[in-house]
Amino acid sequence: MSSILSIQNFTKYYGAVRALNNVSFEVPEGSVFGILGPNGSGKTTLLSIILDVLKATAGTYSWFGQPNSPDQRKKIGSLLETPNFYHYLSATDNLKITQAISGRGVGSDLDIVLKKVNLYERRNSKFKTFSLGMKQRLAVGAALLGEPMVMVLDEPTNGLDPVGIAEIRQLIIDLRNQGHTIIMASHLLDEVEKVCTHVAILKTGNLLTTGAVEEVLMDEDVVEAAAANLEGLAAALKRICSNVTIDTTAKTVNAVFPKGTAQLESINSFCFQNGITLNHLLLKKKRLEARFFELTNN
């Protein structure tokens, strides 16, 4: 899988404050890449640099394997803050104005964009009649003008109600399925876990980890097992694993092994040889929440 964006050694100072510290990572083509971190971690600063809104103090980046240029920038749609739409104009007319001001997608069929963001049926409705989620989808539609290959979104579900959040999450998945690469900043762990294929985790401007979401979460092998005698099962597993706990609520035993070392067939056989018949055995990944708190020491 080729890289859409390559970032090398980003450092950014605001006076004496260091917002980014030697950050490097690559965004694979066709991914939904989440830049995750608490407020103040440097997410928006990083997006502003790759969109040429800010200049890095040090470091370089390239789009599509080429140095940044106006031609490369035309392939990128962005939503750093919600555009100011006219409340008494329709969705179509608002996009026409955005089109004229930005110069992107002039002469193209706006119906295609409206269908992508699921607003075609409401294309003639006034903006003031839209729900929060619909307003945000129209903002994403404005970023889609000119048919960009890449979408850069800063906190795309910020301020939305649960219905609006669900709409935007589904839209991001749909856009990826239509061939767009999505780069999005978020502080919402659940959001990243549900829609992102890859992630970079920042804390106070430092890159803590990056990679495919599955790889980031599977830093250890967490084995979940169950049997009629939980105490006996736990005692047996402690002979082959140093980190064993009983979950009395779920009625399971969790054993944590170093990454790549847990063999379910061997564990099942070991338990059977010790007189324990398992009725449940699963190799599971950690929740992103748990992994995030481990990395950020929160």
Are 92 and 77 part of one and the same domain? yes
Q: Residue 19: what are its φ and ψ, rounded to 5°?
A: -85, -30
Are 81 and 154 part of one and the same domain? yes
- Residue 180 and residue 149 in contact, taking contact as beta carbons nearer than 8 Å: yes
- The strand pair at 252-258 and 3-14 is best described as unpaired
Q: Which of 76-90, 99-113, 149-163, 258-272 has the lowest mean pLDDT?
A: 99-113
State which of 29-33, 63-67, 283-287 shows the largest mean pLDDT.
29-33
- What's the mean pLDDT in 63-88? 86
Domain end: 216, 247, 277, which one?
216
- Please state, rounded to an integer, the average pLDDT across all residues of the chain: 88
Are 212 and 226 part of one and the same domain? no
Strand order in the sheet with 17-28: 17-28, 3-14, 58-63, 66-67
- What's the mean pLDDT in 81-92? 88
Domain end: 216, 233, 260, which one?
216
pLDDT per position as a tens digit, 209-235 = 898 887 776 667 889 999 999 999 999
Are 174 and 249 part of one and the same domain? no
Position 108 pLDDT exceeds 90:
no
C-alpha span between 204 and 40 (Å, rounded): 6
Are 198 and 226 part of one and the same domain? no
Position 85 pLDDT exceeds 80:
yes
Are 158 and 289 part of one and the same domain? no
Q: Which helix (H) or strand (E) holds 227?
A: strand 220-227
pLDDT of residue 287: 63
How many CB atoms neighbour CB 16 within 10 A? 5
- The strand pair at 32-36 and 181-186 is best described as parallel
Q: Which two tokens stand for residue 155?
A: 């906190």
pLDDT per position as a tens digit, 112-139 = 999 999 999 999 999 999 998 899 999 9
pLDDT per position as a tens digit, 190-206 = 778 789 999 999 989 99
Are 21 and 118 part of one and the same domain? yes
Are 269 and 229 part of one and the same domain? yes
Are 74 and 105 part of one and the same domain? yes
Q: Which domain holds residue 275?
A: 218-296
C-alpha span between 140 and 164 (Å, rounded): 13
CA atoms within 13 A on the CB side of 83: 26
Structurally, the chain folds into a number of domains equal to: 2
Q: What is the CATH number of the domain that holds 37?
A: 3.40.50.300
pLDDT of residue 104: 78
Position 107 pLDDT exceeds 70:
no
Q: Residue 239: what are its φ and ψ, rounded to 5°?
A: -75, -20
Are 211 and 223 part of one and the same domain? no
Q: Which helix (H) or strand (E) holds 143?
A: helix 132-143
- Residue 10 and residue 20 in contact, taking contact as beta carbons nearer than 8 Å: yes
Give exposure, 72-101, as e/b (b: 16+ Cβ within 10 Å).
Answer: beeebbbbeeebebeeeebbbbbbeebbee
pTM of the model: 0.77
Position 53 pLDDT exceeds 70:
yes
294 or 96, which is more confident = 96
88 or 215, which is more confident = 88
Closest CA to 221 of 265, 270, 258, 268: 258
Domain end: 164, 199, 216, which one?
216
Are 159 and 285 part of one and the same domain? no
How far is CA 188 from each of CA 28, 157, 160, 242, 298, rounded to the nearest angstrom? 22, 9, 12, 33, 15
- Measured over the CA atoms of residue 233, residue 236, residue 241 and residue 245, the dihedral's sign is positive
Cβ neighbors of 265 (< 8 A, separation 6 or more) are none
Q: What is the CATH number of the domain that holds 264?
A: 3.30.70.100
Are 155 and 284 part of one and the same domain? no
Q: Which of 48-52, 116-120, 251-255, 281-285 has the lowest mean pLDDT?
A: 281-285
